[in-house]
Amino acid sequence: MNNLSPSEPTQIGRYQLIGRLGRGGMGTVYLGQDDTGQRVAVKVINAEYSQHEQFRVRFRREAESARRVRRFCTAAVLDSDLEGDLLYVVTEYVEGPNLHDAIQRTGPLRGSSLDALAVGVATALTAIHSAGIVHRDLKPSNVLLSPVGPRVIDFGIARALDTLSGITGTGELMGTPRYMAPEVLRGAPAAPACDVFSWGCLVAFAASGRAPFGGESLPSIVYQVLNTEPSLDSMEPPLRTLVAAALEKDPERRPTAQQILDQMVGRTTPERAEHTVVQAWQRSPTLQGQAPTLPGQPPTRHGPPPTGHLPAGPPTGAHAPYQGQPPTAAHQGTVPAGSPTYLGTTPAVPRHQGAGTPLDATWRAQGPPEGGRPADPAARRRRLIGIGVAGVVLFAVAGFGLRALLAPSGPPTDLSFLYRDDFNESGTGWSGSEYTGKEYGMYGYAPGGFYAVDVNDEGSERIEKAPIPFVPEQPATPDPSATPTPTTPQRLLLTVTATLRSSKGPGEYGLFCRADGEYRQSRYEFLLSETGEARIRRVTKGTGGNLTAAAATGITKNTPAKVQVECAKTAEGVQLTMWVDGARVQSFLDNSGSPSSLPNGDVGFLARVPEKSGSSLGVSFDDFTVQGPASASSPR
């Protein structure tokens, strides 16, 4: 094809342009090819935008952020020019029609075709949100139906328009109101929850051929989105329940993209979810014979392993105001537990993604221990032993029991390594991408070879679940054709080297174990405060309370501390023990709550500050390991 006009370029950079794929308010997308014949999509930004320095700065930041998105159900970035007079991004060419055109041509999706679409788009959103990005304009024309599954396009760089204005020169609202969340229509900052709302609208459209909110004029559409219930009559009950939860007016009541994914395919990762989508997509009779919009080769993977991507495809309209809220806080979902699994083989279990309970009201900012941290671990250990011998007061305050006092003082040495990560390589399965310490890069893999987490008023808590190769419990009805995943051992020793890099006001960080996947999460926490005090805390269905009182450790800022915790199921309950640099600082036998103790669950690390307190905390985590009985050893 060659539909280029005489005024359009035929070469951009090292790419020959052989056709125009589309044109929109932000720019033009061309079909190009490199000197090897590989087809690509070249998105060129309109000069009216690229001449604004503020736009160029935001465009560059958004493009660089999009590169960090893992390549799951999206298009990969191959090249870009973010500095020259002509701004452009080169992405993988995704062959196939967009969802809007496909539905108009062949009708609504049904059965496994609809499920595969829903899972594929949720997988893409999970990868996008994990990189700290909000799509902001998810709609049918921004989902391409490739031969191997749906591909979400046009995220990231469109947000650069927010630096200019939320309203066009004619006063037209920038965006696609039928697929915009109510809070965004009211002018609130966009966050991951708004993408979840758009996901619900998109799936409802795919199931019926019409948007879930009616109206012909802009005021009518906005009124419907803000005030009426969505039309979901054409959807089957299980998926309808999940979509209805995504379309809650209150963003705090919507599930996250990860929770949607887990609800539909069981506890999983984007890698496994994408594989599931490809299998279902290629088996689906509804999707066979979908004609691509342009002739060409099937999508292929090129170059080194992906570090991120930016969407290919035609620009589609403008966008509503965005005020820059970092998308780090998760949103409480309302999907009923126990809803059927759609494409997976394990029962659906909602996944909590990052948000937890507020800090206890008893938190107080205190000064560091007199004299600071001892110069070496042995000196601090002697100090702690001396404090322990000082009297019964510490015995009562620190929460030690007779069992703990009689047990060996150091961490157990009879356990095998089940999992370890030194964070020297990114993309090892944790939820974060590249850490920058700036907006949208507040947690993830840091260049220095550690995992960094910053929390503040914009995101007061970060809970990072370790991607260990175990599951807390086996599915009730396992798939006989699937290779079973080992069950998490009932006794675990977690180790991490934690460094408090910065702090302002009160804050806490540490390890957790036995976390569940409910929206109101339960877990055990082993915490160090900004003043170096240690405590063990239990959270039950979102409500937390101390199991032990705070005990001084002498930990100070900018000094690495080896934190180790043991969670061990015993006949009496769950034994919880915490060591810092080899010295035991806390121990507690939990057997008196409701339930008496928490069941098996996930593990990981966390950091938090009190909400809306002006506090901030920066922590580095390194050399994370999980140990357990030798019988549970995993190859990883």
The Cα-based distances of 356 to 131, 334, 469, 484, 601 in angstroms read: 20, 15, 24, 30, 16
Q: Count other C-beta atoms under 10 Å from residue 21's C-beta.
A: 20
Q: Tell me the three state secondary structure of residue 300.
A: coil
Residue 21 pLDDT:
86
Mean pLDDT value across residues 464-478 = 85
If asked whether residues 307 and 402 sit together in one domain, one would say no
Q: What is the C-alpha to C-alpha distance for residues 280 and 274, in angstroms, rounded to an integer?
A: 10
43 known member of a binding site: yes
In tens, the pLDDT along 93-127 reads: 888 889 999 999 999 998 888 988 999 899 888 88
Q: Which residues lie below 8 Å from residue 570, measured CB to CB, with a gap of 6+?
A: 589
Token pair listed for 606: 């966390």
For residue 636, is pLDDT > 70? no
The Cα-based distances of 335 to 261, 330, 602 in angstroms read: 12, 15, 20
189 lies in some domain = yes
Q: What is the C-alpha to C-alpha distance for residues 412 and 150, in angstroms, rounded to an integer?
A: 48
pTM for this entry = 0.47
For residue 507, is pLDDT > 70? yes
In tens, the pLDDT along 323-359 reads: 233 233 333 333 333 333 334 333 333 333 333 333 3
If asked whether residues 259 and 383 sit together in one domain, one would say no
- What value, to the nearest 5°, has the Cα angle with vertex 124 and ends 15 and 606? 120
Single residue among 353, 369, 395 that ends a domain in this structure: 353
360 lies in some domain = no
Q: What is the C-alpha to C-alpha distance for residues 334 and 244, in angstroms, rounded to an integer?
A: 9
The domain that contains 409 carries what CATH number? 2.60.120.560
Token pair listed for 365: 């900012």
Domain interval for residue 28:
1-353
CA-CA-CA-CA torsion sign (412, 415, 416, 421): negative
Q: Is 34 labeled as catalytic in the residue annotation? A: no
Mean pLDDT value across residues 276-303 = 44
Single residue among 353, 387, 403 that ends a domain in this structure: 353
Residue 64 pLDDT:
66
364 lies in some domain = no
If asked whether residues 237 and 280 sit together in one domain, one would say yes
If asked whether residues 124 and 191 sit together in one domain, one would say yes
For residue 367, is pLDDT > 50? no
**Structural domains counted in the chain:** 2
Identify the band that residue 300 occupies on the pLDDT scale cut at 50, 70 and 90: very low
Query: If phi over 0 gives left and psi between -120 and 50 gives alpha, with beta otherwise, what is residue 369?
Result: beta
Q: What is the C-alpha to C-alpha distance for residues 438 and 522, in angstroms, rounded to an integer?
A: 30
Q: What is the C-alpha to C-alpha distance for residues 276 and 344, in angstroms, rounded to an integer?
A: 7
If asked whether residues 337 and 421 sit together in one domain, one would say no
Q: Count other C-beta atoms under 10 Å from residue 51's C-beta.
A: 11
If asked whether residues 439 and 336 sit together in one domain, one would say no
Q: Tell me the three state secondary structure of residue 447.
A: coil
Single residue among 338, 353, 368 that ends a domain in this structure: 353
Tell me the pLDDT of the chain averaged across its residues: 75
Mean pLDDT value across residues 189-217 = 92
576 lies in some domain = yes
If asked whether residues 428 and 571 sit together in one domain, one would say yes
Ranking 363-372, 378-387, 613-622 by mean pLDDT, the lowest is: 363-372
Q: Which residue has the higher pLDDT, 448 or 268?
A: 448
The Cα-based distances of 189 to 160, 192, 323, 613 in angstroms read: 14, 10, 5, 20
Mean pLDDT value across residues 172-200 = 84
Decide if 160 contacts 324 (C-beta within 8 A): no
If asked whether residues 309 and 396 sit together in one domain, one would say no
562 lies in some domain = yes
204 lies in some domain = yes
The Cα-based distances of 426 to 418, 429, 435 in angstroms read: 20, 8, 10
Q: Please tell me which residue in 137, 154, 262, 421 is annotated as part of the active site.
A: 137
Q: Tell me the three state secondary structure of residue 41.
A: strand
For residue 519, is pLDDT > 70? no
Query: If phi over 0 gives left and psi between -120 and 50 gives alpha, with beta otherwise, what is residue 612?
Result: left
The domain that contains 261 carries what CATH number? 1.10.510.10
If asked whether residues 67 and 122 sit together in one domain, one would say yes
Q: Count other C-beta atoms under 10 Å from residue 295's C-beta.
A: 9
If asked whether residues 389 and 340 sit together in one domain, one would say no
Mean pLDDT value across residues 573-581 = 94
Please give the torsion angle defined by the CA atoms of residues 131, 360, 515 and 407, in that order, rounded to the nearest 10 degrees.
130
447 lies in some domain = yes
Nearest to 74 by CA among 326, 308, 344: 308
432 lies in some domain = yes
If asked whether residues 318 and 436 sit together in one domain, one would say no
If asked whether residues 543 and 607 sit together in one domain, one would say yes
Residue 521 buriedness (CB in 10 A; 0-12 / 13-18 / 19+): buried
